[in-house]
Amino acid sequence: MKLIVARHGETIENANGIIQGQQHGCLSEKGIKQAKMLASRLKNEKIEVIFCSDLNRAKDTAMEVKKLHPNAEIIFSKLLRERYFGEIEGKEKSKLGDIDIYSLDCCETQESLMKRVGEFIDSMPKSYGCALIVAHGGTNIALTAKILGITFEESLNMGKITNTGVNIFEPFPKLKLFNCSEHLN
């Protein structure tokens, strides 16, 4: 199986430094353009299924890809949501000071995020020739870690996932491409 993992396009909230977490977010004009460029990049792939976070920013990105893959089944999953940031969701990062937001009690733990994406990977059918996952930066770091059997920190050290950045595992679970955004040039 070939597994392609992509992050959603830029949101208005991304552009304004707002912590989204599990809030839906809204693609910015740039994000809509990025989603269309991602779809164009993937147009020659034989995508049979699109697994997608149920949050609107991921849905809207996935729907751009689906336009060029009308026969692909689309499956939305809460397991692919971004990390939950509790009471700081919707707040500007710059107004929170120098605190480590990942250590706050209101936030979903790294362990919980890893467990959640692990559940998704374990339940995902591996019988497709080509599958696409559209999710979020933190989720995609966790997915990469789970697939490769490395820690979250090791995956994070590979680099931040850019908006519509593409990871390809082919043959699954071998990593062929990480965080490629050449389609945006």
Beta carbons within 10 angstroms of residue 59's beta carbon? 18
Annotation marks residue 24 as catalytic? no
Catalytic residue among 45, 64, 82, 108: 82
Q: Are 31 and 11 in contact (CB under 8 A)?
A: yes
Annotation marks residue 170 as catalytic? no
| Torsion sign, CA atoms 61, 63, 66, 67 | negative
Which residues, in sequence order, are CB contacts of 20 under 8 Å at separation 6+? Answer: 11, 13, 14, 57, 82, 85, 89, 90
Beta bridge mates, 52? 76, 134
Catalytic residue among 8, 45, 64, 108: 8
Report the SS3 class of residue 118: helix
List the catalytic residues: 8, 82
